[in-house]
């Protein structure tokens, strides 16, 4: 990717993970909701994705978009996810089409399919050896308004791909934590995504050739109920971390 890449929501945890590992690999333009505490090493702008003018200025001249911005709270109320997540994503897509952007990487969430975790499946589905897998071909099944917004934006990406030909990758991000995975929390270990693997899957989404894809963003955990096969096959994603390799604060392998 030789052209400049817009990263919205650059001040969040996913943005931190991406920039920590990939900061020197791309010509980034960062969009922050609030002024950053420290001066970034890359060009940046302050703006809101729900403001069409802010978005148009941020997208101007870029060749790809990694869209992370939005209200990240699972408990976020409807008016907030409508404005910041759904309307905000619509603004970014519209600006991307106007600018001729070829690739759009969207940070979806495990909450888009959270209601698959029924009493009949849990807690066994969180344990190594259980064969239940979600692979990205299933219909969304959100369990909260935040999940509804993420599922809605996945479908929005399908429309913009079909209508305008933009390449879209929805990454259903799992449980992103810095350092060790959550100990004594089976669900968190099953959907754990390390910072380095978070960067790896975003690099793959920027570099691979595809049309429209929905994949899961987790590390290669022994415990898992999200399949990594599509991310491996289409994106070339090769996660290097595994929640089973940690014992407390120490990595055992």
Could you give the residue numbers annotated as active site?
146
Give me the torsion for CA of 226, 229, 231, 237, rounded to 10°. Answer: 110
Contacts of residue 118, Cβ cutoff 8 Å, sequence gap at least 6: none
Q: Is there a contact between 190 and 212 (Cβ–Cβ < 8 Å)?
A: no
Of 240, 138, 148, 127, nearest to 191 (Cα)? 127
What DSSP designation does 162 have? H
Is the CA virtual torsion 104, 107, 110, 114 positive or negative?
A: negative
Using CA atoms, how far apart are residues 238 and 125, in angstroms rounded to an integer? 23
> For residue 210, how far is the Cα from the chain centroid?
17
Of 142, 168, 164, 133, nearest to 154 (Cα)? 168
Q: Is there a contact between 225 and 125 (Cβ–Cβ < 8 Å)?
A: yes
Using CA atoms, how far apart are residues 202 and 105, in angstroms rounded to an integer? 8
Using CA atoms, how far apart are residues 98 and 43, in angstroms rounded to an integer? 21
Helix (H, G, I), strand (E, B) or coil at 97: helix
Angle at alpha carbon of residue 13, lines to 95 and 64, rounded to 5°: 30
């Amino acid at each position: 990717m030789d052209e400049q890449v817009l990263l919205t929501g650059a001040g969040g945890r996913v943005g931190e993970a991406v920039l920590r590992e990939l900061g020197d690999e791309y010509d980034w333009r960062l969009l922050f909701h609030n002024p950053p505490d420290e001066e970034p090493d890359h060009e940046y702008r302050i703006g809101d994705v729900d403001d069409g003018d802010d978005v148009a200025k941020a997208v101007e001249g870029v060749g790809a978009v990694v869209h992370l911005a939005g209200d990240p709270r699972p408990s976020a109320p409807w008016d907030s996810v409508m404005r910041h997540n759904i309307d905000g994503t619509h603004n970014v897509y519209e600006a991307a089409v106007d600018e001729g952007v070829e690739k759009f990487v969207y940070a979806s969430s495990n909450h888009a399919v959270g209601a698959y975790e029924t009493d009949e499946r849990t807690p066994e589905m969180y344990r190594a050896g259980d064969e239940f897998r979600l692979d990205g071909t299933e219909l969304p099944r959100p369990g909260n308004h935040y999940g509804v917004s993420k599922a809605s934006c996945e479908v929005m990406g399908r429309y913009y791909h079909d209508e305008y030909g933009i390449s879209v990758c929805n990454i259903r991000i799992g449980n992103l934590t810095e350092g060790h995975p959550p100990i004594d929390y089976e669900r968190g270990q099953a959907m754990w995504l390390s910072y380095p693997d978070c960067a790896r899957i975003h690099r793959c989404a920027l570099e691979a050739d595809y049309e429209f894809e929905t994949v899961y963003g987790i590390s290669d955990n022994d415990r898992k109920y999200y399949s990594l096969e599509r991310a491996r096959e289409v994106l070339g994603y090769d996660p290097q971390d595994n929640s089973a390799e940690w014992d407390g604060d120490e990595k055992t392998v």
